[in-house]
Structure 1
């Protein structure tokens, strides 16, 4: 009986770190226009890269972006919130991970518009993507990364 308890206890100890360290993915909430399909493509792209994504259709996307600190001229196609940051538009996941790793003192980042070939968008990339940092102090956005 003691041997069985020992073996079961040992098995439980060996399995515990695996379940305790299982990566469930970083949570993201993506707000999008109800009729937009490329936003669903971006949500799928994030999921394929390990994020847990809740998609929330809204007719108030411009207001959500504005309240998050995204200037109208730099709005992307959808607005995503991850770990306290706003990620607006079709930002490549390596830039999102850079943001989450570096944790700069900014509101978030944006890739304005709907560039061809960006994650979730159809077509071939035809231009360099310029991702802007959105500041907390009201100063003009700066370039955060280029792709």
Structure 2
């Protein structure tokens, strides 16, 4: 083997490691956030540390993303994420990892889950596992009213 062949094979191996496999695609998440939002950065890093493949899209204005996703005004938060392969799901705001894992395991017939606003103690907002706040489900279509999916800290 030449030095060039060895270097090429090593580089090809590294590139293969950097690309998610078919099995990982269900755990690939795109997070749309402001480039200046520290709490969004903390949430994104925690999701990545939990084993999700995270792609960050920094945008000055998230209103078009939220509109396209059909997120009701009263469910909006500072960042929006999309996860899934064939079927895309929405994660709005500081949703805890437990809710994401539960949702991805159970796969209920909903469009997504949301934590509106920026609740104190939520992931990214001074995380406190005993903090109480509500995670809502976003119905199959934007015309379905959000419902309680789970309550944290109880």
Instruction: Mark the structure with the bigger radius of gyration.
Output: 1
What is the aligned counterpart of 2:91 among 75, 87, 91? 87
What is the number of equivalent residue pairs in this alignment? 128
TM-score with structure 1 setting the length:
0.78
- Gap runs ≥5 in structure 1: 1-19
Contact 1:89/1:113 (CA < 8 Å) preserved in 2? yes
Whether 1:98 aligns to 2:102 is yes
- Gap runs ≥5 in structure 2: 1-20
Q: Deviations over 1:82-108 (max 9, x none)?
A: 111100001111100111111111110
Distance 1:120 1:127, change over 3 A: closer
Match of 1:70 in 2: 71
What RMSD in Å do the two structures reach over aligned CA positions? Answer: 2.3
Contact 1:31/1:57 (CA < 8 Å) preserved in 2? yes
Distance 1:46 1:132, change over 3 A: same
TM-score with structure 2 setting the length:
0.74
Distance 1:56 1:29, change over 3 A: same
